[in-house]
Amino acid sequence: MEASIQIRDLPFAKNRILSLTILFLFISFHFLLPLGLLFGSFPVWAAWVFAAALGPVSYTFWNLIHESIHGNFSNERKQNHFWGRFLCIVFGAPYSVLKCSHLMHHKFNREPGDRIEFYDPNSSKPRWFQSLNYYFRITVATYIFEVGTGLLLSLPSRWTKPITDRFIEYPIEEGFFKWIYRPEILEELRKDIFWILAFYIPSFWLFKNNWPLLVFLLLSRSFFISFFDNAYHYGKEINDKNSAFNLTLPKTVSAFFLHFNYHRIHHRFPGCSWDRLPKQMEVCGETWDKSFMKQAWSQWGGLLEPLDGKISK
């Protein structure tokens, strides 16, 4: 008799409702809003308020995609994959790039290449460049990397391989490109890039002279994702795959961000769905480390001196 596969208690219905709500908001921004501006039925000031409000929603958007990456969106693999790719098309970056880069983060967490806040004296890059790279990474680079890498890798591999080889300095980068260059992954990536361009090019065209609104949304998305994601690790122990901060937020805000602030819990139990993270924290006896806002703000302190061993700031 074959052993049955354990069915986890995942919030699939909630995830679908959240996905459809977020998709409606962003599709409305990309297509209904510019039409309203074009015909004068929607005031420009309200459009800017709408764009500003969608900045933090973009972080919830990413966290929902994140559930699919870890297989926590649905118990059915096809549903996980479908919703992940669908959401990523509207998000503007291929699912394969987000999935691979995030899983590499888990695999190489706090190892060289994934602890960007520490000055690396062994790197060929000078300190001023590492500092510039750090601030770029915590402000906009995460989303720009996801979009740019997707666009680059959609080109023929014989053109892109010499370029990507120049960016490989650490095992995390080597692992990423080794995985992403698999033929079946590139095939899916190129299909997703086609649909992303089919979504975004008409949107830019519809905005016409109001294109700064769309650019503002994308830069805002870049900032929230880059700045918030790095905050959970800034100054934490190195060489520990579970190293991350549990950061306090008001309950409603924590739920709005799908409890991503329970971050060490997530690293310890990546198969735990977002709605069960608070309970998981209680069960395993974990504690809070810092305030989310204070920890996020501390990132402006810049590069830290290199550390030996497991030392926390």
Give, for all 313 residues of the chain, the pLDDT tens digit.
Answer: 344 446 788 999 999 999 999 999 999 999 999 999 999 889 999 999 999 999 999 999 999 999 999 999 999 999 999 999 999 999 999 999 999 999 999 999 999 889 999 998 888 889 999 999 999 999 999 999 999 999 999 999 999 999 999 989 899 999 999 999 999 999 999 999 999 999 999 999 999 999 999 999 999 999 999 999 999 999 999 889 899 999 999 999 999 999 999 999 999 999 999 999 999 999 999 999 999 999 999 999 999 988 654 444 4
Rounded CA-CA distance 232/293 in Å is 11
pLDDT of residue 122: 83
Please state the φ and ψ torsions of residue 309, each to the nearest 5 degrees: 85, -170
Please say whether the beta carbons of 167 and 148 come within 8 A.
Answer: no
Please say whether the beta carbons of 221 and 30 come within 8 A.
Answer: no
Nearest to 216 by CA among 41, 33, 19, 88: 33
Q: Per-domain residue ranges for the chain?
A: 12-243
pLDDT of residue 307: 65
pLDDT of residue 169: 87
Helix axes 142-153 and 95-107, enclosed angle (nearest 10): 120
Rounded CA-CA distance 77/68 in Å is 9
Q: Which residues of 114-137 are buried (b: 16+ CB within 10 A; e: fewer)?
A: bbbbbebeeeeeeeeebeeebeeb
H or E element: which one contains 290? Answer: strand 290-291
pLDDT of residue 7: 72
pLDDT of residue 69: 97
pTM of the model as a whole: 0.92
Please say whether the beta carbons of 261 and 292 come within 8 A.
Answer: yes
The radius of gyration of the chain's CA atoms, rounded to the nearest angstrom, is 20
